[in-house]
Amino acid sequence: MKLAFIGLGNMGFPMSRNLVNAGYCVYGVNRSKQREYEFEKAGGLIGKSIKELANEMDVIMTCLPLPSDVEDVYLGEEGLISNGKEHLILIDFSTVSPNLNKKIHHEASAKNIEFLDAPISGGTTGAEAGTLSIMVGGEKRTFDQVLPIFNILGGNVYHIGEVGNGSIIKLINQYLVSVHSQAVSEAFVLAEIAGINLDLLTEILSVSYAQSKILERHYTNFISINNFQPGFELGLLHKDVTIVNEMAESYQVDMPLGNKVTELLSEALESDLGKKDMSAMIQLMREKLKIES
Ligand code: NAD
């Protein structure tokens, strides 16, 4: 199988490198060329345009930051669908709306191109280790064809029915991640002001009902060392909960916490925290209370 991977970022780079290490020939494309050179050093192939790849590859994967990037790469004139050959398989790992997945699927089907939405969870550590959770929507037959690829990238791979269903589950995950992130930020700021040792707090919460992956991740990898290099950018979490809110609205489901967290994430972006890890929500709480970190 000839493979290509578009979007060699925090997630896409380690994912595509794992495919190279597993013995696949993988072409890489990234907006900033430095990443492509690093991919070449890691054993990947570079130098082909998206248009050329669409016509030559068997499977093309994408892991792109924003819905607008996904639209450009899939639906643009120089993009994957206009230039794709019949039976090409396209897999999108990006977090976008189920409606965008369906729009891409509709255009792809008209040209006999297969499309799977396959959002991921597990962070950069999961991407490095090949232990991501992958939630896949689309034809089961196509899913089965690319399952060996998914099994290299992920430890928990699920097929969940029609195109868009992977995104619905991923967005529900992101809703919970955002609420937990805000809850952790408030809890730690309260503990700080009350004079509680945060190492001890985390140790106790981790063996109590308040235990959560987000609590442990945010404290251990970021808050405790006061380093908020991402990880998962806060700006991407803002993008995700904005999509969650739109999805909830389309189903006429009121999400009061989702709306509030989106408001707080917007404030964090205004405070220049967008490029920091999502655990930097605590910095917004500290700023509001004028606490030194
Ligand atoms: P990132 O910004 O680190 O990487 C995205 C890469 O895509 C960048 O290198 C960028 O240059 C490249 N790119 C953008 N537009 C392009 C284009 N038109 N053509 C080629 N390359 C292009 O983002 P990331 O953290 O890797 O996240 C990617 C997606 O995965 C997002 O949708 C995000 O929500 C999702 N995600 C991220 C994480 C995480 O922990 N970082 C976890 C799960 C899901």
Q: Which atom of ligand 1 is nearest to the CA of 236?
A: 34
Q: How confident is the model at residue 291 (pLDDT cuts 50, 70, 90)?
A: confident
Residue 290 designated active-site: no
Q: Which atom of ligand 1 is nearest to the CA of 240?
A: 34
- CA-based nearest residue to 153, from 88, 219, 59: 59
* Ordered domains of the chain (ranges, CATH): 2-162 (3.40.50.720), 168-289 (1.10.1040.10)
Interval between CA 237 and ligand 1 midpoint (Å):
12
132-136 and 114-117 strand pairing: unpaired
Q: What is the pLDDT of residue 289?
A: 85
Q: Is the omega angle on the peptide bond into residue 231 within 30 degrees of 0, that is, cis?
A: yes
Q: How confident is the model at residue 293 (pLDDT cuts 50, 70, 90)?
A: low
* 135 pLDDT above the threshold of 80: yes
- CA-based nearest residue to 95, from 244, 229, 266: 244
Q: Which of 5, 6, 10 to mutate to test the pocket of ligand 1 (most atoms within 8 A of CB)?
A: 10
- CA-based nearest residue to 142, from 113, 99, 103, 111: 113
Q: How confident is the model at residue 292 (pLDDT cuts 50, 70, 90)?
A: low
DSSP labels for 75-116?
HSTTSHHHHPPTT-EEEE-S---HHHHHHHHHHHHTTT-EEE
Structure-token match 């050179």, residue found:
37
**Model confidence pLDDT, tens digit, residues 26-70:** 999 999 999 999 999 999 999 999 999 999 999 999 999 999 999
> Helices (DSSP H) in 22-90: which residue ranges?
33-41, 50-56, 67-75, 80-83
| Residue of 111, 170, 260, 288 marked active site | 170
**Model confidence pLDDT, tens digit, residues 243-290:** 999 999 999 999 999 999 999 999 999 999 999 999 999 999 999 887
Residues with CB under 6 A from ligand 1: 6-12, 29-32, 35, 63-65, 69, 72-73, 94-95, 120-121, 123-124, 232, 236
Q: Which of 8, 11, 46 to mutate to test the pocket of ligand 1 (most atoms within 8 A of CB)?
A: 11
* Side chain identity, residue 180: H
Q: Which atom of ligand 1 is nearest to the CA of 239?
A: 34
CA distance 24 to 1: 8
**Model confidence pLDDT, tens digit, residues 62-113:** 999 999 999 999 999 999 999 999 999 999 999 999 999 999 999 999 999 9
Q: Tell me the two tokens of residue 61.
A: 């994967």
Q: Side-chain half-sphere of 51: how many Cα atoms within 13 Å?
A: 4
* Mean pLDDT of the 179-205 span: 97
Interval between CA 6 and ligand 1 midpoint (Å):
9
Q: What is the pLDDT of residue 206?
A: 97
Q: Which of 37, 63, 128 to mutate to test the pocket of ligand 1 (most atoms within 8 A of CB)?
A: 63
